[in-house]
Amino acid sequence: MSLTPLFLEMNDKNVLIAGSGEVGTRRAIRFLESGANVILLGSMLPIELLKLGASLKPMNEAEEWVKWADLVVLATGDTQLNQRLSNLAKGKLLNRADHPVKGDIIVPSSFFIGDVQICIFTQGKSPLMARELRKRIEKIITKDDILQIELQDFTRKLLKNEVKDQKKRKYYLSHILKDEKIKELLKEGKLVNAKTYVDNFLRKSLNL
């Protein structure tokens, strides 16, 4: 398979979605929350999408709105209709909910744990297992893992101001990641104390 995972900047991009069922609605919400302009083709617009700013256009205007779109999402339950719309969308980024590998864009199962975004794609073989894997991942990643990310970001900013050598910055970041005192503080939820500990450690180590 020639697909590769990417993140797209969707702010103010135009997304056309055919189908307002469960899948179409879920994808519309995702793109709306990412700042995209979203139009649905069909006869019904769920109230939750209207509140988020989506618009509804009739299916017989599909050709006009395909031209408007940067990304076309096909999520109707009619395979033949999806294929006709796919033919109209040639040259556009295309996501097909019915046959993911026939499009250019895959919309994987995606969720956040703190600032960590995790995406799961089973090559279209098992959406059910994607949900099961999500549950397992959510159990593995702990609150102190998320706090460690915050602490690493804090540390990187301190180091960038004082240490020009990238390898040396990596050394300090690795040291902090493995530090048992820091692990203990984060397990107790004491992020502020951990930041103070890191700040003092770097000042002493770097003679600041």
Q: What is the pLDDT of residue 207?
A: 85
Torsion angle of C-alpha atoms 17, 23, 26, 29, degrees rounded to 10:
0
The CA distance from 106 to 91, in Å, is 16
List the chain domain ranges.
1-107, 111-141, 143-205
Which phi and psi angles does 53 have, rounded to 5°? 110, 10
* Residue 199 CB burial class (10 angstroms; 0-12, 13-18, ≥19): middle
Alpha helices in the chain (DSSP H): 22-33, 47-52, 62-68, 79-88, 127-140, 143-162, 166-178, 180-187, 191-205
Distances (CA, A) of 66 to 4, 11, 33, 125: 25, 18, 21, 29
Q: What is the pLDDT of residue 180?
A: 97
Q: What is the pLDDT of residue 109?
A: 86
User: What's the N-to-C CA distance of the chain in angstroms?
Assistant: 52
Q: Are 187 and 145 in contact (CB under 8 A)?
A: no
Beta-strand relationship, 14-18 and 93-96:
unpaired
The CA distance from 92 to 69, in Å, is 8
Q: What is the pLDDT of residue 3?
A: 80
Distances (CA, A) of 140 to 47, 134, 135, 145: 36, 10, 9, 10
Q: Which pLDDT tens digits describe the chain residue by residue (208 residues)? A: 678 888 999 999 999 999 989 999 999 999 999 999 999 999 899 999 999 999 999 999 999 999 999 999 999 999 999 999 999 999 999 999 988 888 999 998 889 999 999 999 888 788 899 999 999 999 999 999 999 999 999 999 999 999 999 999 999 999 999 999 999 999 999 999 999 999 999 999 998 7
Question: For 1-107, CATH number?
Answer: 3.40.50.720
Give residue for tokens 């618009």.
55
Q: What is the pLDDT of residue 7?
A: 92
Distances (CA, A) of 53 to 1, 49, 99, 155: 36, 6, 28, 39
